[in-house]
């Protein structure tokens, strides 16, 4: 860099602070959605937004929508129409709860496995809820949202991704185990959440809470004081994994049966500043706890008057479904009843100063929301949530390669140009695949980075 004078780029980024100034964008059937009634929303580690509807699955990369609709005659295709919930395991597989049971998808090969059809002993019927334990187990409700659900668990084999990509037979390598209540109880279940990332807690139609024992595969009633959750007077907070959303629970104080009242459970999204944005089906508004925070005093959550205690966060043009989430950048995504998705972001934003003592050469936004700050920090990425530089995801695989330039395409392929031992290196990585070096033989010329 002898002819390029190093310079200090004072780096600022826009961050949300005001709940009153919002910008609302629409993503509808006209933009490519398979159907307008949005049942669930999820963002994977790679940054894609996954949208479940009553007619298939959609993947949005910020530019285009990739649709996966039912194709009953095509091998390895999605055969379910209703997608009820979406999740991701530690290895990057996408798990779906559908009207035809549990489904696992490899996003790299875009192959779907309908576990209800291909795996013996897998429960049939709707799957309205999925949870992942830190031990790799996948817990799910089955049987239907209206008629009640049972609980089952699968332990995916370590080579499941490889088996799917090779088109192998899954018989005998993956099967579901039913979880039974103790004492021949016949209770069905309607909600499930995870405690400490490994212990599922369920709420039955008898309004009692049950804890699943992974060792015995049995459910036992659990007292409310034993459930680890935040408490605010007569209310508790149960979070989904990742603590980006959850519900307020109205608790019966001193109830010897340990029952919970689920007549009115406000759902919320947890923002990075600690505030909560509440939403409810068929309403056109999102509500915020605001600076005063309703949690300074025990909230009254057992009537519709609860929302009257809140500030209006945003007013939408169409009624909401129950689907909502916060993405990696802090934007809110909300599903509607028949009119697609609404993305709510801030329109009036101040600046935040990052890394004032660092020199940055150029900036590349990564799919997970982090930023590569250029060649002065070839092996680091900037985490906008913490404001800290972290190890770049390519450092381990591309050893001794000084990265000069990085490009992430619309199809989520990563391209890197760099130098290793006085030779130019160009490498490519497609989604979850490995890094592949392009067989180019170019001598390294000092001070001339390779543009991408």
**Mean local confidence (pLDDT), 70-90:** 93
User: Given this model, what pLDDT does residue 433 score?
Assistant: 81
CATH architecture group of domain 17-346:
7 Propeller (2.130)
Distance CA 131, CA 134 (A): 10
- The whole-model pTM stands at 0.74
Instruction: Give pLDDT tens digits for 221-263.
Output: 887 767 777 776 667 788 887 788 888 877 654 454 556 666 6
The C-alpha angle with vertex 412 and arms to 69 and 332, in degrees rounded to 5, equals 70
Distance CA 452, CA 406 (A): 7
Instruction: Give pLDDT tens digits for 365-382.
Output: 887 788 888 878 888 999
> For residue 242, what are the contacts with CB-CB under 8 A and spacing of at least 6?
none
Distance CA 401, CA 426 (A): 10
pLDDT-wise least confident of 142-151, 312-321, 398-407: 142-151
Domain boundaries, the chain: 17-346, 358-437
Q: Determine what percent of the chain is predicted with pLDDT higher than 70.
A: 80
Confidence band of 33 (pLDDT split at 50, 70, 90): very high
Q: What is the 3-state secondary structure (H, E, C) of 24-75?
A: EEEECHHHCCCCCEEEEEEECCCCCEEEEECCEEEEECCCCEEEECCCCCCC
User: Given this model, what pLDDT does residue 292 score?
Assistant: 44
pLDDT at 8 over 60: no
pLDDT-wise least confident of 141-150, 321-330, 410-419: 141-150
């Amino acid at each position: 860099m002898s002819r390029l004078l190093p310079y200090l780029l004072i780096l600022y980024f826009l961050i949300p602070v005001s709940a009153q100034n919002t910008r609302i964008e629409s993503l509808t059937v006209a933009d490519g959605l398979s159907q307008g009634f949005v049942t669930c929303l999820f963002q994977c580690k790679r940054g894609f937004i996954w949208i479940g509807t009553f007619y298939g699955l959609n993947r949005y990369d910020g530019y285009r929508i990739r649709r996966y609709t039912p194709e009953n005659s095509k091998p390895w295709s999605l055969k379910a129409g209703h997608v009820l919930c979406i999740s991701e395991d530690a290895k990057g597989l996408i798990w779906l709860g559908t009207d035809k049971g549990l489904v696992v998808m490899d996003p790299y090969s875009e192959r779907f496995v309908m576990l209800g059809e291909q795996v013996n002993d897998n429960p049939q019927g709707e799957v309205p809820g999925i949870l992942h334990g830190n031990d790799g187990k996948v817990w799910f409700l089955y049987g239907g949202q209206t008629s009640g659900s049972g609980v089952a668990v699968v332990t995916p084999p370590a080579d499941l991704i490889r088996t799917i990509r090779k088109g192998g037979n899954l018989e005998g390598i993956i099967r579901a185990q039913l979880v039974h209540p103790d004492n021949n109880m016949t209770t069905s279940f309607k909600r499930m959440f995870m405690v400490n990332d490994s212990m599922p807690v369920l709420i039955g139609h008898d309004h009692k809470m049950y804890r699943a024992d992974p060792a015995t595969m049995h459910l036992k009633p659990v007292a409310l004081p034993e459930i680890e959750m935040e408490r605010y007077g007569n209310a508790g907070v149960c979070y989904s994994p990742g603590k980006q959303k959850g519900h307020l629970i109205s608790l019966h104080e001193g109830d010897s049966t340990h029952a919970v009242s689920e007549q009115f459970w406000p759902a919320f999204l947890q923002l990075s500043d600690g505030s909560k944005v509440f939403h409810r089906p068929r309403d056109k508004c999102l509500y915020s706890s605001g600076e005063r925070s309703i949690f300074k005093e025990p909230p009254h959550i057992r009537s519709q008057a609860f929302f009257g205690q809140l500030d209006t966060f945003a007013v939408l043009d169409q009624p909401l479904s129950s689907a909502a989430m916060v993405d990696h950048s802090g934007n809110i995504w909300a599903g509607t009843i028949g009119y697609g998705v609404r993305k709510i972001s801030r329109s009036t934003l101040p600046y935040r100063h990052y890394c004032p003592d660092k020199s940055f050469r150029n900036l590349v936004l990564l799919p997970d929301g982090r930023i590569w700050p250029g060649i002065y920090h070839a092996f680091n990425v900037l985490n906008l949530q913490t404001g800290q530089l972290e190890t770049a995801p390519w450092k381990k695989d591309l050893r001794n390669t000084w990265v000069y330039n990085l490009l992430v395409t619309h199809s989520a392929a990563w391209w890197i140009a760099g130098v290793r031992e006085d030779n130019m290196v160009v490498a490519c990585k497609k989604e979850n695949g490995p890094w592949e070096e392009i067989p180019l033989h170019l001598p390294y010329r000092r001070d001339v980075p390779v543009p991408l």
